[in-house]
Structure formats: structure tokens, C-alpha cells
Amino acid sequence: DAGVIQSPRHEVTEMGQEVTLRCKPISGHNSLFWYRQTMMRGLELLIYFNNNVPIDDSGMPEDRFSAKMPNASFSTLKIQPSEPRDSAVYFCASSLELARDTQYFGPGTRLTVL
Amino acid sequence: AQTVTQSQPEMSVQEAETVTLSCTYDTSESDYYLFWYKQPPSRQMILVIRQEAYKQQNATENRFSVNFQKAAKSFSLKISDSQLGDAAMYFCAYRSSYGGATNKLIFGTGTLLAVQP
């Protein structure tokens, strides 16, 4: 079975540009999570969805960040406008159910904002 | 709020030897899950092992096993017969079982494991 798929794997952009990260969860999984990993802050949850509905976005750093899940097999994380401090690895993870289940991670997207 | 602490930033082990990575956590909850994830240079976060707090028996997965001490809030990972492919950053993580806003994984800062041939 395919795991969590993320694209692109690497993204280099200039400050002020819009960035869109994409995620396809494991088929049949009902919950989807977006994490960010930086040297300074480690791994932190940005937002998660259950049955395509955003449940908790308290980890989204500011209004420049937005996330959508239009259907069960696709989610996007958008940063507009991007800033150098947004440079990080962004992970998407999915789980079968919201509570009581293991989260499986995608390969991550390494974002560099110049 | 729950916290996870990994006090060993780096560890080293000889190939075929055994190594133990430490993890402690703080919580007031009685039901939760603990995980060890491995992150090799490829950056992929790979689940190594999972432990449910209500289970007294320590989880094992092939060469990987845990020592779960609930009263002490300790959750160490033992890697037996270490292989070169075990070299990676290892993260300990906590997750509440109560759902709602507590569904996020809370990660420790990681332990970088080097395996010497």
C-alpha cells in the first residue's frame, strides 16, 4: 500500500511568494495532520483534520498560513506571503481514526524561503 | 500540559551491540500512547514502536523493545544487535487517548544515534 504522499519534496522560493504544499493521506484514513520541523522548535503540530473538517488550527503560526482538505484524499498547506522564517521541513501525517491510532508520516517537504 | 524529555542529544553504539535511548514524560492523564519514531537522513519519520499506557507488557518489534515504567513516567528504547541502518535521529512522542484538542503528538527533542562499524 502507498504511504502518505507529499509534494513537492523540495521547494525553494523567494520571500513574498505564495507556496503550496500538497498531501495525499493513506487511503481509508480519516484524520490528517500537518507538522513543521525546525531546529529551533523541533516538531510542532500546525493543524489537523478529521473527516475533512479542520478540528484544531491553534498551531498555525499566523494568518499567512492556511490549510484545506477539499476531499478525503487531498490536503494543501498554503503560505502567502512566504518569509525566510518559514523555512522548515513540513510533514503531513494521517491516521485511521482521530484518537487511539498511530499517525503515519509522509516524506516531508523541505521549504527554503530566500 | 504534557512534556517529553530526551536527555541524550547523541549516542553511539558499535555494530551488533545493544544501546538504550532514554525518554521521560510528564502527564496527569492515566490513558495515553507513547511512540518511538526514527528519522534517518532521508527525513522520513518512521514508526519504530508503540506502547499503550494501559498495557503493562512492554512492546517489542523484532530488535526493538521498550522499557515502560508508568509510575516513573519513563519510556526507554532498546535496540539489540545494532545495524548500520539504525543510524538516525530517534524521537520519543506522547499522545493523549482522550481525543479533541489533544490529538497531537508531543515530541521530544530527539537523540542522534551513530552506529560504528
pLDDT at A98: 64
Q: Kindly list the residues from chain B whose CB atom is less than 8 angstroms away from the CB atom of residue A105.
A: 37, 44-47
State whether B42 and A45 contact (CB < 8 Å).
no
A48: Cβ–Cβ under 8 A, 6 or more apart, which residues?
A: A31, A32, A33, A34, A54, A55, A56, A98, B103, B104
pLDDT (tens digit, 9 = 90+) per residue, B47-83?
A: 999 999 998 899 999 999 999 999 999 999 999 999 9
User: Rounded CA gap, A44 and A64, in Å?
Assistant: 17
CB contact A45 to B (< 8 Å): yes
Specify the pLDDT at position B100. Answer: 58
A102 touches chain B (CB under 8 A): yes
Query: Nearest chain B Cα to A107, which residue?
Result: B44
B105 vs A45: CB contact, 8 Å cut-off?
yes
pLDDT bracket for residue B19 (50, 70, 90): very high
pLDDT, residue A24, reads 97
Q: How far is B109 from chain A (nearest CA, A)?
A: 6
How far, in Å, CA of A73 to CA of A76, rounded? 11
What percent of chain B lies above the pLDDT cut of 70?
96
Residues of chain A with pLDDT under 70: 1, 98-100
* pLDDT for the residue B97: 78
Query: Mean pLDDT over all residues of chain B?
Result: 93
B34/chain A closest Cα distance in angstroms: 10
Say which of B91, B98, B108 has its CB closest to residue A99.
B98
A5 part of contact set with chain B, CB < 8 Å: no
